[in-house]
Amino acid sequence: MQERIVLITGGSTGLGYTAASRLKKMGYHVYITSRQAAKAAAAAKELAVSYVALDVTDEASIEQAAETIKKQEGRIDILINNAGIPGGYGQPAEIDAAIMRNVYDTNVFGLVSVTHAFLPLLEQSEFPVIVNVSSGLGSFGQVLNPDKIESKVNALAYSSSKAAVSMLTVQYAKSLPNMKINAVDPGPTKTGENFSNGMQTVEQGSDAIVKLATIDEKGPTGGFFNRDGVIPW
């Protein structure tokens, strides 16, 4: 099989950065993205990977990134939709539609826009894979389980956006049977810029991302996983 080409959105910091580092060491050809070209370039230099500027909330930016990789590579084999923001953590009654739209623009509509733009390049792969970074905070099973840390968090915008990501994963998987498409929950990870209250290291948080990105033809599709295995919806 050809050298596998991976595109990771939001790959200049946190989980995306760590996943890029691990996949590079495993022999994958990795592209990371950031909305700021200078930031992507600096991170790519540190990791010895490729980069492209890409703002998941900007259609023109997404199309330009897809065109750049099309010219340089002709395909991608693995898309990791990692870019995400937490949004407001106030009580649900305090969260208005403007806050919701801001979170959904990145976490939901950004994922759809990137996936849509890069599907033609994935279709050029012998074995295309998509990994959508969701969250246990978007899982009924986790949020309603008093033994889970997710049950202690009330994050209307973020949690509902990640529930949407998980269902998007199922719908894509059902309609694209030639691809392996799964959602992952990194777990409560301290990643720095946007997520500073986690307990896991970024290495632990990236476990599920790397595992699902590197599945073979016998791997799952349409599933929801953390570093320990399948988790409830």
Q: Would you please indicate which residues are annotated as catalytic (active-site) residues? A: 158, 162
Whole-angstrom distance, CA of residue 36 vs CA of residue 16? 15
Structure tokens, 4: 């596998």
Structure tokens, 43: 């991170």
Handedness of CA 161, 167, 171, 172 (dihedral sign): positive
Listed residue (211, 21, 4) closest to 127, CA to CA: 4
User: First and final CA of the chain: distance in angstroms?
Assistant: 34
Put residue 3 in one of left, alpha, beta given phi > 0 → left and psi -120 to 50 → alpha: beta
Whole-angstrom distance, CA of residue 27 vs CA of residue 105? 33
CA dihedral 158, 61, 49, 74 (to 10 degrees): 120
Whole-angstrom distance, CA of residue 232 vs CA of residue 36? 36
